Amino acid sequence: MVRAEFPLVLGQPTTQDRRHMTYLLPVANDRIGDEQGAFADTVQKWAEREVMARRQTLREDYDKLLRPALGGLLQELGLQGHLWPESAGGDGETPRSASMTLALALEQVGRADTGIGFVAASGLAVAATIVDGADEVRAAELAGSFMGGEATLVAPVLGCLESRDDGLLLPDGRSLQATARRDGEQIVLDGKDVRPLCCGLDARLYAVLCRLEGGVGLLLVPGESAGIRRGEQTLQTGLAACRNAPVTFSDVRVPAGLLAVEGDAVYGALRTWLCLGLSAVCSGALLATCEILEDWAESRVIKGRGQRFVDNPLVAEVMAGVVQRTTLTRMAVRDLARTLTVTDQPGQSLLTALTVAHHAATTADEGLGRTMELMGSAGYATEWNLERYWRDIKTLHGHLGSEVLDRLEIARHCFGHGQGGARP
Amino acid sequence: MTMFRSIDELTRPLEYVSPMDELLGGMVRRWAEEHVIPHRRGFDEDWREHRRIEPALERLLGQLGLQRVMFPEEYGGWGLGHSGHFAVGCARLVEEIARADSGVAVAVGVTFWPMILICREPHVNHRLCRELAPMFCGTTRARLAANAMTEPQGGADIENLDLLRGSTLNTTAVRDGDEWVINGHKLWPTNTGGASALFAVVCTTRPGSTDPDDFAVIFVPADAPGVTQGAPYQKAGMAADKNSDLWFEDVRVPLWYRALGPGDDFTYFKEVISIGNMGSIAMVSGVLMNVYEVLQRFASEVKVGGRPLKENDAAAGVLADLVADLEVIRITCYQYARMIDRPDLYGPPWSDEIVARGRALKYSACDRALKSLGRAVNLMETHGVDRVWDVEKHWRDLKIIQLWMGGKQLCQMETARWYYQCETL
């Protein structure tokens, strides 16, 4: 069933409509089903009620706002169970059929708080990779690691700058931070001061992409396992909802059944799902930027008494540029989500996903930067919340990876860079 | 151990640096390396109390005496105000401080800023210098000053002198016998929130007037009855720059506390704008200098594929762009400062031409620096947004430098007005 969530043609918005910038930035949502749209609506209402309405007083307080909100989103709202089989208590959505739902939901989470979106996207990327690569029985076996009695913060461990191979993150394991080996019915994991993508300090579950006897595996490691040492919290520019820390795995032993996925394809799949989620979060940050800008500009006058801010052509041009960036990013994110609904192997879309994700992060950075320029001191004061998105997006982009070095990966696939001209 | 290139190897027009360049610049660099750089990572959490920040300011301004620098020698100052190397000297000082922390640089720079009106040739106000000098020159305790411009009704309107000529000012000064009675509400002045000893208050003697005679700058001691400072604002960066609301309620000061008088306050306030832009460019230069230092170390220490990051050609391109921009910005900074120092060649620093050039160079420097620094932060991946390397701090601070004094759009308009002789902007 086709669901027109938002009008596809610009009309005259009502006062009520104007509260949601989504009305003013229509994108083709004709492939969104009723259930998918309803889920995104639910997330939107939750985000406005539980996060946006409370952040003015609670700011970036992890214990009072961000951690409870993560709990509400993942567990009470059920986002962490969305992709797991119904037989294991999940919603039974397959990642591919749910890719658009996830994009819409994460956009709304990102609109409320980029950091919460970042944590949610990371956990969902791991879940999507596992569910997409396993049959239902196997997925149901692993679901328990993600869906206990409390919200599960998942800390994915992939590559990092130092583990890149001449700038590239290679799918064959050479670019990973941790190593595993089999020992009877157990897998033994080692890695010193590895940098998880997020939640290194608080994770209930580490999802470690590791070198495994000449190959690659995605190993689930419960946070309470013996041999895990969490370092001091990393102080970073933004993403306050994501309390990260370096983690050392010393001879950590887990049952072999927690080796969730094996093979080179897992690397591409995990990064691809991650790119989709993070792109959607960036899209949400841009939506929030448009809303803040609209609110702020409404009452401003410049050049003396009388001229409305938005009536100044220079200001209007910059404002429109922010809207353009938002609209194009939303379109790109939806297109990536749709691509993933039809692809055989999500990892085969990695180049597209990387392109969209870097575009989304760069565009959000630009859109926020230009909005700050218009808002002047209000842009960098915490009072208006804009600077928080600006810091968060820069931090998110750092975790996504170096755009310059990721372009080498794209060049490798498209032009045979580093392969003597041969395309992999 | 690898020896990296010194920042002193970066380009600077040596033919016109100040004779006291090495003396003052070296003093500030030693102070920065001992009292700021090792502690600056804790400044973010100190935005409200300034417990970590104040000792650094005490050392530089009070004990080393930099707060005396603007005042004439006969009042206990160092006489920079009448030096032919005033601007290039200031550029070096501000650049060195910003290399360590641009929030500290703005706190120090803004202390000098309003003194330009009364300490600079050819418009020295000796009576006011004599009156105010003891506050800064007669003590070894740090004293800060503030330039109270911005008002709630229009952020950049006050600085938009060419167009609005002070007509939007709501802060009023009414003559009552031998005193001014000042009323009004200011937002955002640097060194407020309880930090300053003295305010230079931009106000009007006739609300709504565009007559330059009605534009006034009046000095007000912070402890004058009727002055109220709000709590500091929390910002994205620059914790050492404390900002707050500032209220004046029937505040009385002597008539001769007006900086220069009818017409002259307006004229020479444009010089304040020019020097503010020059100082901003110097801060951008200082920020990038320190980022360059950090990147040399980072890109050498971090190995990617067994080789230092800097040996990867794609990464080297990003690193090169940053230092190339730094070279251009630094040359720009000293060139513009020299133009301010040589009115015989370039015209007075309060001329529309010099103001416009400063606006153009400032926003161009900020745009360039933000772009190249933003790319460098991303190249460093998670390390770029990790506070351990301090690069992200400079990135946050740099954005604030871009946005103050009317922000980018006012810079663009003042640039277009002069260069294209626009008449209606």
pLDDT at A6: 42
Cross-chain Cβ contact A236/B392 below 8 Å: yes
pLDDT at B387: 94
Show the beta-strand stretches assigned E in B168-326. 172-176, 179-190, 196-204, 215-221, 227-229, 243-254, 303-304, 307-308
Report in angstroms the alpha-carbon separations of B410 from A109, A323, B355, B400. Answer: 35, 22, 12, 15
pLDDT value at A370 more than 80: yes
Cross-chain Cβ contact B386/A236 below 8 Å: yes
Partners of B375 on chain A (C-beta within 8 Å) are 404
More confident residue, A19 or B176: B176
pLDDT-derived band at A5, boundaries 50, 70, 90: very low
- Taking a C-beta distance cutoff of 8 angstroms, is the pair B367, B399 a contact? no
pLDDT value at A2 more than 50: no
pLDDT value at A16 more than 60: no
Question: Measured between CA atoms, how close is B65 to chain A, in angstroms?
Answer: 31
Q: Note the pLDDT tens digit of each residue in A164-185.
A: 887 777 777 778 999 999 999 9
pLDDT-derived band at B300, boundaries 50, 70, 90: very high
- Count of alpha carbons within 13 Å of A33, Cβ hemisphere only? 11
% of chain B with per-residue pLDDT over 70? 100
Which residue's structure tokens are 């409305």? Answer: A308
- Taking a C-beta distance cutoff of 8 angstroms, is the pair A325, A316 a contact? no
Cross-chain Cβ contact A378/B155 below 8 Å: yes
Torsion angle of alpha carbons B367, B147, B48, B362, nearest 10°? 10
Cross-chain Cβ contact B374/A318 below 8 Å: no
The mean pLDDT value for A266-294 works out to 95
Give B252-289 as a DSSP string: EEEGGGBSS-TTHHHHHHHHHHHHHHHHHHHHHHHHHH
The mean pLDDT value for B392-400 works out to 98
3-state secondary structure of A220: strand
Cross-chain Cβ contact B188/A164 below 8 Å: no
For residue A130, give the H/E element and its range. helix A114-133
Closest-CA residue to B415 (of B285, B277, B288): B277
**Nearest chain B residue (CA) to A411:** B314
3-state secondary structure of B25: helix
Give B376-398 as a DSSP string: HHHHTGGGGGBGGGSHHHHHHHH
pLDDT at A164: 86
pLDDT at A3: 35
- Taking a C-beta distance cutoff of 8 angstroms, is the pair A216, A229 a contact? no
- Taking a C-beta distance cutoff of 8 angstroms, is the pair A80, A72 a contact? no
3-state secondary structure of A371: helix
Q: Which of A25-39, B142-156, B223-237 has the highest mean pLDDT?
A: B223-237
Cross-chain Cβ contact B403/A302 below 8 Å: no
3-state secondary structure of A53: coil
Q: Exposure of A89 by Cβ count < 10 A (0-12 exposed, 13-18 middle, 19+ buried)?
A: middle
**Nearest chain A residue (CA) to B393:** A237
The alpha helices in A47-94, defined as continuous H runs, are 55-58, 67-71
pLDDT at A10: 40
Amino acid type, B384:
G
pLDDT at A424: 63
pLDDT value at B224 more than 50: yes
From the list B305, B374, B403, which residue is nearest A379 (CB)?
B403
The mean pLDDT value for B59-72 works out to 97
- Which of A295-299, B47-51, B87-91, B322-326 bottoms out in mean pLDDT, i.e. has the lowest? A295-299
Residues B386 and B398: their CA atoms lie apart, in Å, by: 17
- Taking a C-beta distance cutoff of 8 angstroms, is the pair B67, B143 a contact? yes
Interface of B with A in 374-393 (CB under 8 A): 374-375, 377-388, 392
Partners of B161 on chain A (C-beta within 8 Å) are none
Q: Note the pLDDT tens digit of each residue in A31-54.
A: 677 877 788 889 999 999 999 999
The alpha helices in A343-401, defined as continuous H runs, are 350-375, 377-380, 386-400
The alpha helices in B15-166, defined as continuous H runs, are 21-31, 53-57, 86-100, 102-112, 115-119, 126-137, 161-164
**Nearest chain A residue (CA) to B363:** A373
Q: Note the pLDDT tens digit of each residue in B341-371.
A: 999 999 999 999 999 999 999 999 999 999 9
pLDDT-derived band at A1, boundaries 50, 70, 90: very low
Question: Measured between CA atoms, how close is A142 to chain B, in angstroms?
Answer: 30
Cross-chain Cβ contact B235/A167 below 8 Å: no
pLDDT value at A13 more than 50: no
pLDDT at A21: 62
- Taking a C-beta distance cutoff of 8 angstroms, is the pair B217, B173 a contact? no
Average pLDDT, chain A: 89
The mean pLDDT value for A140-154 works out to 90
Interface of B with A in 156-185 (CB under 8 A): 156-157, 160, 163-164, 167-168
pLDDT-derived band at B386, boundaries 50, 70, 90: very high
pLDDT-derived band at B73, boundaries 50, 70, 90: very high
Question: Measured between CA atoms, how close is A398 to chain B, in angstroms?
Answer: 4
Partners of A403 on chain B (C-beta within 8 Å) are 378
The mean pLDDT value for B104-127 works out to 96
Question: Measured between CA atoms, how close is B407 to chain A, in angstroms?
Answer: 6
pLDDT at A421: 63
CB contact B395 to A (< 8 Å): yes
| Stated length of chain A | 424
